[in-house]
Amino acid sequence: MPNHPVVCVTLYVISCLLDAVDGHAARALDQCSKFGAVLDMVTDRCTTTCLLCFLASVYPTYAVLFQFLISLDISSHYMHMYSSLTEGAESHKQIKEDSNPFLRAYYKNNNVLFFMCAGNELFFVALYVLATTKPLPVFEYDLRLILATVTFPICAAKQIINVIQFVNASKSLASIDIEDRRAKRALKKE
């Protein structure tokens, strides 16, 4: 990563684009599975985590922020995936109608999902390119700074979605635990 930014960005973008189409391919080929959904989520988290770890090393002032973003990303997606599967959903993208409206919009509309994920990843890529390459002038402006500036609000919104996802999944799992306890108490009374 520190020595080959063109190769790194190329491979990272290819990885993200393949991630955008693998679910469509699985559905088209009738190859969907819970294993595939979980594996997809895990590989997504690993990809982003690797980049954020590097960013923490080149921007040490913001290392704690990058560590927080890694923790939020992993925990929110894990909690969401686990609560979805625990509730019997076929996919973590199946959102109940009474769920948070932002979470519904995020998962129900593939264009919104792609836009948010792409913008989030592009912000991190822009930070990477800022740290590893020379300025890329376009009409007296640095293209790297333009990309970071344009994608920052998308990244911030994606982190808000992650918080909503974490809270929503926590509430869902707590409700399941409450129902399980009630059922156990009812069995003990019999």
- DSSP letters, 85-124, are HHTT-SSTT---TTS-HHHHHHHH-HHHHHHHHHHHHHHH
Number of domains in the chain: 1
Phi, psi of 81 (to 5 degrees): -60, -45
pLDDT at res. 138: 79
Are 143 and 137 contacting, i.e. CB atoms less than 8 angstroms apart? Answer: yes
pLDDT at residue 65 in the model: 98
Say if residue 134's pLDDT is above 80.
yes
Give me 171's structure tokens. Answer: 């509430």
Range of the domain at 66: 5-188
pLDDT at 152: 98
Give 53 or 13, the one with higher predicted confidence. 53
Cross-strand bridge partners of residue 138: 141
The residues annotated with a catalytic role in the active site are 44
Closest CA to 130 of 147, 117, 109: 147
Higher pLDDT, residue 51 or 97: 51
**Measured torsion, CA atoms of residues 141, 143, 148, 150, in degrees rounded to the nearest 10:** 80
Q: Quick check: 190 pLDDT over 80? A: no
Residue found by looking up tokens 């993208």 in the block: 93
Is the confidence at residue 156, as pLDDT, over 90? yes
* Residue 75 pLDDT: 96
State mean pLDDT over 64-70.
Answer: 98
- Give the tokens for residue 43: 């590989």
Q: Rounded mean pLDDT of 120-143?
A: 90
